[in-house]
């Protein structure tokens, strides 16, 4: 079976032939690959070609593909049933693991995706405060909920404009969009709308404009400004939870958000999202409080046991230093290869995630991220794919390492990347 044959069939049955747009490789050109199987740090397409994988399913697989502990937990649970529609004991176990890892999270509600987590968190913030406006940062992605598929309008305190057809103007204008790392713009938007702002939602380390780190004082400013106006802080840790440290970005940057959104790693590759926070906020969630949110497969036992196995193994290994060391070995190796070739680039890295931007500028927000040469990125992506290195098929995403990536994997990846860059 050929990738292209299968993809043609997929395109006749599913819009763009995919279940999520980025998988169609439109941002990088060329035909997408279809996956036959994956194990550890490796992935094979339907033609049997093997790749060293740095996409890692967009972040969930910090233990690598098909980790034995996770696979056996899911297989064992499957014999006992796949879904009950009533509370199962694994929800309690995973909730205890989450609550014990993030002091700001006193209570948690499980949902089935990061989008559901952020959508619900926004509704909760609006319900808790009785206010309408939401503030987000340009270039941050929080899933495809209407309130968050909003682009920056023009001007400073920018009333959002629909980021896609299908989001009514009336909805988009309730989302205020300011540049990431821009405290002044945030202060301005609060000066104008402060008493009506329910919350600020932020990726504490951005992963969706490529990796962009918070500037000194940025996260503190969000906390101070929201507190003075009575708005809530929602930390979207869907990527960073258990990725940057056991306590996510909020541990690393010593933050205490009112609500935290989780996803990816927390489900170990199975469909899972969650939102949690201070008890007095979470108690507003139905059926304890009036803010409605529900889900047939929420707390699904298979996702629960996958998350439990993932977190328990992660806590046992405590691999964060080793992951950072291997990641830095990879990024410095890539930097050397690109510099030798005279290719201007910036690499933003934290823990086991990073992005290569093809620009000379420091990348600290979406505008500077967009200064990178996306045509060059497309060629880079396709050459790497040919050499057997799989990276995210889009510039504004992050590479991820896992505990399954070995020293040899990194050496081999650097050899393959060197060959790819040679023909750039
Ligand atoms: P999901 O609904 O895709 O599970 O989560 C949405 C989401 C929320 N918050 C953050 C910070 C996220 O990064 C995401 C989803 N991430 C993208 C890629 N960075 C998922 C890939 C895709 O859309 O196919």
Domain boundary among the residues 298, 316, 334 is at 316
- pLDDT, average across residues 194-218: 98
Task: Report which protein residue has its CA nearest ligand 1's atom 19.
Answer: 208
Cis peptide before 312 (omega within 30 of 0): no
Q: How much is the pTM?
A: 0.97
185 and 269 belong to one structural domain: yes
74 and 61 belong to one structural domain: no
The per-residue pLDDT for 160 is 82
Q: Can you tell me the distance from the alpha carbon of 92 to that of 229, in angstroms, rounded to the nearest whole number?
A: 35
Say whether pLDDT at 152 is over 80: no
Tally the domains of the chain: 2
Residue 267's domain comprises 68-316
Per-residue pLDDT band at 145 (split at 50, 70, 90): very high
Say whether pLDDT at 310 is over 70: yes
The single residue listed with the structure tokens 């790497």 is 384
216 and 78 belong to one structural domain: yes
184 and 301 belong to one structural domain: yes
Per-residue pLDDT band at 116 (split at 50, 70, 90): very high
236 is catalytic: yes
The per-residue pLDDT for 1 is 83
- 31: DSSP letter: P
The per-residue pLDDT for 34 is 98
Q: Can you tell me the distance from the alpha carbon of 230 to that of 70, in angstroms, rounded to the nearest whole number?
A: 42
The per-residue pLDDT for 161 is 82
Query: Are the beta carbons of 348 and 357 closer than 8 angstroms?
Result: yes
- Name every protein residue with a CB atom under 6 angstroms from any ligand 1 atom: 20, 22, 58, 113-115, 118, 141-143, 203, 207-208, 236, 238-239, 263, 273, 397
Say whether pLDDT at 162 is over 90: no
State the chain's mean pLDDT as an integer. Answer: 97
Domain boundary among the residues 316, 336, 368 is at 316
229 and 375 belong to one structural domain: no
264 is catalytic: yes
143 and 259 belong to one structural domain: yes
16 and 131 belong to one structural domain: no
Indicate the SS3 state at residue 179: strand
The CATH number of the domain holding residue 352 is: 3.90.1150.10
User: Mutate which of 263, 298, 350, 395 to test ligand 1's pocket (most atoms within 8 Å of Cβ)?
Assistant: 263
Per-residue pLDDT band at 159 (split at 50, 70, 90): confident
**What is the CA(116)–ligand 1 centre distance, in A?**
11
288 and 375 belong to one structural domain: no
92 and 57 belong to one structural domain: no
Domain boundary among the residues 262, 284, 316 is at 316
The per-residue pLDDT for 157 is 56
137 and 203 belong to one structural domain: yes
Q: Can you tell me the distance from the alpha carbon of 226 to that of 183, in angstroms, rounded to the nearest whole number?
A: 12
The per-residue pLDDT for 392 is 98
What tens digit of pLDDT does each residue of 372-412 get?
A: 999 999 999 999 999 999 999 999 999 999 999 999 999 99
**Residue of 395, 400, 360 whose CA lies nearest to 376:** 395
Return the structure tokens found at 366.
């979406």
365 and 415 belong to one structural domain: yes
How far is CA 243 from each of CA 41, 116, 178, 224, 413, rounded to the nearest angstrom?
A: 16, 20, 26, 26, 22
137 and 232 belong to one structural domain: yes
The CATH number of the domain holding residue 162 is: 3.40.640.10
Say whether pLDDT at 135 is over 90: yes
């Amino acid at each position: 079976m050929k990738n292209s044959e299968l993809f043609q069939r997929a395109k006749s049955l599913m819009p763009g032939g995919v279940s999520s747009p980025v998988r169609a490789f439109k941002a990088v050109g060329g035909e997408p690959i279809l996956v036959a199987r994956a194990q550890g740090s490796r992935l094979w397409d339907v033609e049997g070609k093997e790749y060293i994988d740095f996409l890692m399913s967009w972040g969930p697989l910090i233990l690598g593909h098909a980790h034995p502990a996770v696979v056996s937990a899911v297989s064992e649970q499957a014999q006992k049933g796949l879904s009950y529609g009533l509370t199962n004991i694994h929800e309690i176990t995973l909730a205890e693991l989450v609550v014990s890892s993030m002091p700001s999270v006193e209570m948690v509600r499980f949902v089935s995706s990061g989008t559901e987590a952020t959508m619900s968190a926004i509704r909760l913030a609006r319900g808790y405060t009785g206010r309408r406006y939401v503030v987000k940062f340009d270039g941050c992605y929080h899933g495809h909920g209407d309130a968050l598929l909003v682009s920056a309008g023009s001007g400073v305190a920018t009333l959002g404009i629909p980021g896609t057809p299908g989001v009514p103007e009336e909805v988009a204008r309730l989302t205020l969009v300011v540049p990431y790392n821009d405290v002044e713009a945030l202060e301005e938007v609060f000066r104008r709308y402060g008493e009506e702002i329910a919350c600020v939602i932020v990726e504490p380390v951005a992963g969706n404009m490529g990796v962009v780190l918070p500037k000194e004082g940025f996260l503190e400013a969000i906390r101070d400004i929201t507190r003075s106006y009575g708005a809530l802080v929602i930390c979207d840790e869907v990527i960073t939870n258990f990725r940057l440290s056991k306590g996510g970005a909020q541990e690393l940057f010593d933050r205490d958000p009112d609500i935290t959104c989780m996803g990816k790693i927390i489900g170990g590759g199975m469909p899972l999202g969650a939102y949690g926070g201070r008890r007095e906020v979470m108690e507003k969630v139905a059926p304890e409080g009036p803010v409605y949110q529900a889900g047939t497969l929420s707390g699904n036992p298979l996702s629960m046991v996958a998350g439990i196995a993932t977190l328990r193994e992660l806590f046992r290994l405590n691999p964060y230093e080793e992951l950072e060391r291997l990641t830095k070995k990879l990024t410095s190796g890539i930097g050397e290869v690109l510099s030798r070739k005279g290719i201007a680039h910036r690499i933003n890295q934290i823990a086991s995630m990073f992005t290569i931007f093809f620009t000379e500028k420091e990348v600290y927000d979406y505008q500077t991220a967009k200064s990178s040469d996306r045509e060059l990125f497309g060629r880079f992506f396709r050459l790497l794919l040919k050499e057997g290195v799989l990276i995210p098929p889009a510039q504004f995403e992050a590479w991820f390492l896992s505990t399954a990536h070995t020293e040899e994997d990194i050496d081999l990846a650097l050899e393959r990347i060197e060959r790819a860059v040679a023909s750039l």
